[in-house]
Amino acid sequence: MSGILIIILVSAIILITTTSVFMIYGSTDERRMEARIKRLTDPNSVPAGPKGNSPNLAASKGKTVSVSLDQKIKQLLPNADLMRLRVERAGFDINLSVVFLVLAALCILFTMIFMNLLSLPPLVSISAGIALGLAVPTLVISMRGKKRIKAFNSALPDAIDLIVRNVRSGLPVAEGIHSVSTDLTGPISEEFKKIADQIAIGVPLEDALARSVKRVAAPDFAFLSIALAIQKETGGNLTEALGNLSRLLRQRNQMFLKVRALTSEARSSALIIGALPFLVILVLVFMNPEYVSVLYKDETGQIVSMVGGASMLLGFAIMAKMVRFQI
């Protein structure tokens, strides 16, 4: 057990050190954009002196370190850009270097736990450790990303109504986008703030919206961006189109809540059925550990555990698909 504690302690130190280094020296795209906007809009901002000992020099050094690490990570990972996009959708303000180090630390940690605590064979421990070390962060990022997109879609009708009110008052669309970033909260406020910041530094509206659509990946928001871009080029009654879109989104949200209420019993049953095996095993571990140890110490028990776990995961996926409706 002491070896396990040492491994856990070392892994925790690695994670804390990595996060601390990133917080001190790291420089993400959003921070760089905010710093640039501040330099452009703040009349009191002074550029770095000839000696180069200003905070801007430290930020540039941190940027260089961050960019060089990200370039090395891109060479190692096949889908580095896709991973960065998923991390941004999840709302994590971290670089690829931090993601890579966290994945490596988790893979090592789970491998050592399987090898020492569960006494599994080295090949099985390494395979399971790598699989679990990659699956857990991926699942967390995916779930958090879906949660943020869901919150974004829920607040999108309010954002559209706010833009419509600004346009009817004679204000430009850019001012309506800025109002959304300041008056609303949550993921939609953060995303519209990025759009407003890009417009403030001279990025065209259609380009800023296209980048935002790529980050959010919501069809309704894509339609909004297309409507705004077309209106900028050709003109037309923008308030009517956006008003119809807002009403459609509200009706869709109401239908989704109704379907969710009708399927609540099935979802609760699936949750209870899925949790029962884990609860039973947990009770047996405390009541009779030797009885359960055959599942991970004996070779046949290990095979049975893996097959049973795979079957349960397949059952979870089927039940989740049965109670999920596209509206």
CATH number for the domain formed by residue range(s) 149-261:
1.20.81
| 3 state SS of 76 | helix
pLDDT, tens digit only, all 327 positions of the chain: 455 555 555 555 565 555 544 444 444 444 555 555 555 555 454 444 444 444 444 444 444 444 555 666 666 666 666 777 787 777 777 777 777 778 888 888 888 887 777 777 778 778 888 888 888 888 888 888 888 888 888 888 998 999 888 888 888 888 888 888 888 888 888 889 988 888 888 888 888 888 888 888 788 888 888 888 887 777 667 788 888 888 988 988 888 888 888 878 877 887 888 788 888 888 888 888 888 888 877 788 878 888 888 888 888 778 777 766 666
Burial annotation 75-88 (CB, 10 A radius, 16+ → b, else e): eebeebeebbebbb
CA dist., res. 212 & res. 226, Å (int): 12
Q: What is the pTM of this model?
A: 0.64
Listed by start position, the domains of the chain span 2-119, 149-261, 263-322
Tell me what pLDDT residue 55 has.
Answer: 44
In this predicted structure, what is the pLDDT of residue 241?
82
pLDDT score at 16: 53
Cβ contact 87:99 at 8 Å? yes
59-104 pLDDT, tens digit each: 444 444 445 556 666 666 666 667 777 877 777 777 777 777 788 8
